Chain A
């Protein structure tokens, strides 16, 4: 299984057979890593959570073993000098590290003082500090915010400030540990554009450790895949994704456009696209465009025919072109179209003000029984503020929230949390007990279990897979396990609605799939209404029945998922990027009322037009043998 990286032990920064084990750990976090980076390169390293990516980042920056105790074997060298023997401030002038959470690495109160902090510590002359600060702010696009207080910045601006502060140490190489995890798609693009500018214009090598491969893929010169502490492959992107087997076996996400190319190899001419732009260009004059158009027309005709539902919803609920039944990710649990269900939660004319500024402005929104709704929007668009009103957290300055027709009283969180279960983004903050079983019983200590609970404690143990783990500490569970426990504990009782606030932030593709499976199982078993606040449109929102887009505190779009995600320009206007496949369809067809959401649907729809059933799942036989980004047969033929 292990493949020696194609590019290794070369470059300015070299990891030479590096292995590392944390103190007290029984297994090594890094195993025989061979890795090199050259000036101006952008390298994406990905892998499932816990595979050793962050440990590799710390080792590459020289923070292992100087600040992280453990047993290190092999060496990380910068231009032949061992980095692991240097002091952190010496190493940081060669290799800079940007950590995942920008809040924890912004020490000062203003942008400019944060950027100046490092050069000031180095006791550089005033003119040099000014020069570095100005350069860093300019190159990261933060010049206009130099005097801003860091607490007032958006997620993307904070991350760019952290990058600027790291750059102020003048490193030759920048290592970023999941820099996009807390950012909305627009914030992510800001950060990636900054990094590409650094690599292209300044010759800075950039190593990005990230799960969000779709967004980084177009910018990367190389892609590394890690698994269980090993670097399985390290190749240019097209080569790295040419063989889907290592990706499938490790459960690591692959860009949608790459998956599509594997599903439709002849349409792409054997060349893997890395971005929506690439894919659109490759497909522009192929049979796929008329096939897509025909499939879209077929869906429109079915929708117009009514099909027994007022908005043609069932027509779009899984049935595409004739004879191509595709399992729908948005099959209704309640079995009735959205509009016909009685509202379980209703926000009527809601406005919320903070310090005279409107975070939410006159929002009216009704969510039906059994519905699955995703609320999306850029950071600061009012999503979390809006949903927290449903449990009595916060006070609207105007309007009223209703749960099954009864007003939700601001401040009465204890009462309303029995009706609406809210899983916070920071699920760890919701765990308070010493054992798993006590955690599940926590709520029942203060409130009697209702006669017909959605789940009782025993049911939760079985359903969420905690059998045999009842007596262990919640902190012994993995991050995904702790999130599952927090969710299970919230569902012990009889809530009518489950609200999830950014539940998949920072999770890899495998954990995301596991969470979606769990959510589907919860809905199937309980029939709960699920409202998800997310900026993960591709992974999470596209699995909802309905999407509500908030922009600057107002509802900008509200409708079935396929319709909303087809509005790529409107989404972009409000700081949201539609997932790659809807954007590709919009690019190819110009305009479409609804879109196919998954690679499987896309492939099946165009395959049906051609009369050729197309399977999806990236099996090995669909893989395109590649030679340096050119299909083997082409390379051989020339």
Chain B
């Protein structure tokens, strides 16, 4: 009896502890305020910053395609390639913290959930087989096969996440707008992206401020310790109520801001012409040429290999 109890407790810990590490990591390493670093542009003078914006827009798209069509072995190469530019960029510590959570979070989720629920063909070799007291929930145990599969899937997602983040951090929004216009997209698309990327950090800062204000007014947002199980439902209730409380000041503040912003955009002539001028000329440099060549070569090679069923993803 005690054996089954111990095994059940162990199984519960295996199922629930790793996913709970995610919010813990987020709160400890990033926090709500830290989210503002997620999409903020870091003005530097690196080769990445100087690349043709069109190439930068195409880069995550191309890497995303590679991550879809290649199998795991080749995916490792693509994943490694997607990490290399970060070493050129040398992002700030705050950015690295956010990125680590953004990378480790999905990786851990994929790795663990697939380990629990992706079952190999029989016979199955479990790393740990769950007792009947928990296997009825759907997972008979955790397998190395599932974990590896989860890692592969996570890596596919991370290639796109990593490349997109790299471009967001190293590209001024004005350059995005320029690239979109060269791709014949309407200026409003560029402006929407501009506004979102510029004001998202402000919105996060305001949310942090209002959350502080509500605590200063005597609203209890203190989190119980993990072992204070009885206090957790009340904490969740308080958190839910808080969302209602802070909504009004957040909305009022945001609406006020958007009115001014709309007037500023109007006054600066936004939307007056279908085509815009540009401060940047972005002449094609040898770096850009090299970038385009590498991108085309990667895609071309992948498609050729795929055609000959080398490194192709099994469907």
A346 to B2, CA, bound (A): 54
Establish whether residues A63 and B263, one from each chain, have CB atoms under 8 Å apart when the complex forms: yes
Shortest CB distance A78–B (Å) = 14
Determine if B90 is an interface residue (Cβ-Cβ < 8 Å). no
Stretch of B39-47, B68-76, B141-149 on the interface side: B39-47
Establish whether residues A126 and B277, one from each chain, have CB atoms under 8 Å apart when the complex forms: yes
On chain A, the residues within 8 Å of B266 by CB distance are: 63, 66-67, 88-89, 92
On chain B, the residues within 8 Å of A422 by CB distance are: 216
Determine if A27 is an interface residue (Cβ-Cβ < 8 Å). no
Establish whether residues A442 and B277, one from each chain, have CB atoms under 8 Å apart when the complex forms: no
On chain A, the residues within 8 Å of B309 by CB distance are: none
Contact with A along B254-268 (1 / 0, CB 8 A): 000100111111111
Contact with A along B262-291 (1 / 0, CB 8 A): 111111111111011111010000000000
A113 to B219, CA, bound (A): 42
Stretch of A100-108, A314-322, A503-511, A523-531 on the interface side: A100-108
> What residue in chain B is nearest A489 (Cβ atoms)?
B217
On chain B, the residues within 8 Å of A126 by CB distance are: 277-279, 281
Determine if B225 is an interface residue (Cβ-Cβ < 8 Å). no
Determine if A443 is an interface residue (Cβ-Cβ < 8 Å). yes
On chain B, the residues within 8 Å of A109 by CB distance are: 40-41, 43, 172-174, 194, 197-198
Determine if B311 is an interface residue (Cβ-Cβ < 8 Å). no
> What residue in chain B is nearest A128 (Cβ atoms)?
B277
On chain B, the residues within 8 Å of A429 by CB distance are: 206, 209-210, 213, 249, 253
On chain A, the residues within 8 Å of B246 by CB distance are: 432
Establish whether residues B218 and A443, one from each chain, have CB atoms under 8 Å apart when the complex forms: yes
Contact of B260 among A61, A96, A101, A428 (CB under 8 A): A101
Establish whether residues B42 and A105, one from each chain, have CB atoms under 8 Å apart when the complex forms: no
* Given A88-B263, A356-B93: A104 and B257 interface contact (C-beta under 8 Å): yes
Contact with B along A258-297 (1 / 0, CB 8 A): 0000000000000000000000000000000000000000
On chain B, the residues within 8 Å of A130 by CB distance are: 279
Shortest CB distance A128–B (Å) = 8
Establish whether residues B174 and A121, one from each chain, have CB atoms under 8 Å apart when the complex forms: no
CB within 8 Å of A: which of B212-238? 212-222
Determine if A517 is an interface residue (Cβ-Cβ < 8 Å). no
On chain A, the residues within 8 Å of B245 by CB distance are: 432
> What residue in chain B is nearest A97 (Cβ atoms)?
B267
Establish whether residues A490 and B217, one from each chain, have CB atoms under 8 Å apart when the complex forms: yes
**Tally of contact residues, B, Cβ under 8 A:** 58
Establish whether residues A414 and B253, one from each chain, have CB atoms under 8 Å apart when the complex forms: no
Establish whether residues B217 and A149, one from each chain, have CB atoms under 8 Å apart when the complex forms: no
Chain B interface SS verdict (over half): helix
Determine if A418 is an interface residue (Cβ-Cβ < 8 Å). yes
Contact of A414 among B42, B220, B261, B263 (CB under 8 A): B220
Establish whether residues B269 and A169, one from each chain, have CB atoms under 8 Å apart when the complex forms: yes
Determine if A151 is an interface residue (Cβ-Cβ < 8 Å). yes
Determine if A415 is an interface residue (Cβ-Cβ < 8 Å). yes
A424 to B276, CA, bound (A): 42
CB within 8 Å of B: which of A88-127? 88-89, 91-93, 96-97, 99, 101, 103-110, 112-113, 116-126
A595 to B42, CA, bound (A): 46
Establish whether residues B216 and A413, one from each chain, have CB atoms under 8 Å apart when the complex forms: yes
On chain A, the residues within 8 Å of B260 by CB distance are: 99, 101, 104-105
Establish whether residues A120 and B267, one from each chain, have CB atoms under 8 Å apart when the complex forms: no
A149 to B215, CA, bound (A): 32
Determine if A165 is an interface residue (Cβ-Cβ < 8 Å). yes
A130 to B257, CA, bound (A): 30
Q: Which of A133, A151, A418, A445: most chain B CB closer than 10 A?
A: A151
> What residue in chain A is nearest B272 (Cβ atoms)?
A89
Determine if A431 is an interface residue (Cβ-Cβ < 8 Å). yes
Contact of B276 among A66, A91, A120 (CB under 8 A): A120
Determine if B252 is an interface residue (Cβ-Cβ < 8 Å). yes
Q: Which of A104, A431, A444: most chain B CB closer than 10 A?
A: A104
On chain A, the residues within 8 Å of B248 by CB distance are: 432
On chain B, the residues within 8 Å of A129 by CB distance are: 277-279
Determine if B3 is an interface residue (Cβ-Cβ < 8 Å). no
Determine if B94 is an interface residue (Cβ-Cβ < 8 Å). yes
Shortest CB distance B60–A (Å) = 19
A92 to B269, CA, bound (A): 8
On chain B, the residues within 8 Å of A356 by CB distance are: 93
CB within 8 Å of B: which of A375-431? 391, 393, 411-415, 417-418, 421-422, 424, 426, 428-431
Contact with A along B178-213 (1 / 0, CB 8 A): 000000000000000011011001100010011011
A147 to B216, CA, bound (A): 38
Establish whether residues A123 and B279, one from each chain, have CB atoms under 8 Å apart when the complex forms: no
A482 to B277, CA, bound (A): 45
Q: Which of B253, B257, B263, B272: most chain A CB closer than 10 A?
A: B263
Q: Which of B42, B43, B269, B278: most chain A CB closer than 10 A?
A: B269
Chain B positions within 8 Å of A, measured between CB atoms, are 40-43, 45, 92-94, 172-174, 194-195, 197-198, 201-202, 206, 209-210, 212-222, 245-246, 248-249, 252-253, 257, 260-273, 275-279, 281
Q: A97-B263, A105-B261, A148-B43 are in contact. List 9 more A-B contacts (CB 8 A).
A: A99-B264, A108-B174, A113-B174, A116-B278, A119-B279, A129-B278, A149-B42, A429-B253, A442-B219
The 4 closest A-B pairs by CB, nearest first: A443-B218, A89-B269, A113-B174, A116-B279
